[in-house]
Amino acid sequence: VPGQSTDIDNPSSTTHSLEVGWSPSEDNACPITSYTVKWSSDSGGEGQEEGVTNTQHNITGLKPCIKYTITVIAYTEKGAGPESDPETFTTDTDLPGQVTGVENKGITSDSLLVNWTSPESPDNPCHVTKYTVQWVDVYGKLQEASDIEPPYIIENLTDCSNYTITVTAFTEKGNGKTSEPVDMTTGPKDVYIEEVYNSHGSRNASISWKRPEIHCPLSFVVNYTGITQWTNNKTTVLGDPQTVEDSNDPKANITAELTDLLPYTEYNVCVTVGDENTICETFETDKEVPDIPRNVIITDGSVTDTSVTLTWWFPVEENGILENYNISWSRRNDIFDSASVEADVDTYTITGLGEGNYSITVKVNNSMGFSEESEAIYCPVNGAK
């Protein structure tokens, strides 16, 4: 039988093959008829072998980056010699596979936490030496972070903006195929309105504010209540909530128009953005002349030969602080007279009347002037006998 083969070497290799050579034993007495080359990987699995007739063989069908242990057995017609001492050789490094599983593991208003799955696998266990993450910013410029490991935080991003992320793996041989692109969106900033402004008249107001400088769509809701500042009829007014359309311009001024307000009323207007921030503004609408006094009537049983007593109610809309009621009476073509009473008085007796049918009206004033006169009431008087 032959002696032990020696000097197993590896003159060349690829990612999937090892070329090996060896020297036959120097003390072989008989011609060697063949050799068996055996190999097994350090990653486990069943070993393999192949018969050859010369002292060199290219082992194929291997995996990259794997250590293989190789032995050789020589044969003569008499039989097999002893197995050679084992030698270990490693296949070449291959390009990595495609990165998979790119996902968003956490967001803030200006960052994305990106994670992914390594392309290392049993069929290509070559060590990934680094990764590159790429994304396009809101200005259309390609950005890149190199020499990183997962997970990776992309920072200094714009709020509520979409980014398309790709990841590429590298081994010592170079880069593999880039991952499929994945879209990720940053979250919103803390939203707040710094100040609310108003311009108003007696029955309308424009409420404006500077839109928060964020890129997220926003929802603005305007709520308002009012308390009339009138003499008698102090009333709380509830306005209908108003949703204001977002301009989507981070630097825009937003305006809400409030109509059907009441004069001389203190309004508290609140603007809410999202669910987080509310800011309020208080203002007082302008005054107007008051409405006409209501329910001007002659008091039952008050008419005498020379006098008549009236009563009335304050107007529905006082539109300011009432000052005086003015009572006017006239007899056709020849008599006209008037009198004033304080605003807290709601009755007046006209005296010294002569015979005739009198037309009587009442009006009221505030600092803006007099209301229109009430509808005339008519009262016949007999006069002194």
- pLDDT for the residue 248: 75
> How would you write the pLDDT of the chain (385 residues) with one tens digit per residue?
788 889 999 989 999 999 999 999 887 778 899 999 999 998 777 789 999 999 999 999 999 999 999 999 999 988 999 999 999 999 999 999 999 999 999 999 999 999 999 999 988 999 999 999 999 988 889 999 999 999 999 999 999 899 999 999 999 999 999 999 999 999 888 888 888 989 999 999 999 998 888 888 888 999 999 999 998 878 899 999 999 888 777 778 899 999 999 999 999 999 998 766 899 999 999 999 999 999 999 999 999 999 999 999 999 999 999 999 999 999 976 778 999 999 999 999 999 999 999 999 999 999 999 999 999 999 999 987 6
Whole-number pLDDT of residue 385: 63
pLDDT of residue 152: 96
Concatenate the DSSP letters of all residues of 310-336 into one string.
Answer: EEEE--S---S---EEEEEEEETTTEE
3-state secondary structure of 110: coil
pTM, full prediction: 0.66
Reading the block at residue 272, the tokens are: 């809410």
Can you give the pLDDT at residue 163? 94
Residue 366 β-bridge partners: 369
Give the Å distances, CA to CA, from 197 to 28, 89, 207, 282, 318. 106, 79, 6, 10, 27
The pLDDT assigned to 276 comes to 64
- Residue 217: predicted pLDDT: 84
Provide Rg for the chain, Cα atoms. Answer: 50
Output the pLDDT for position 302: 95
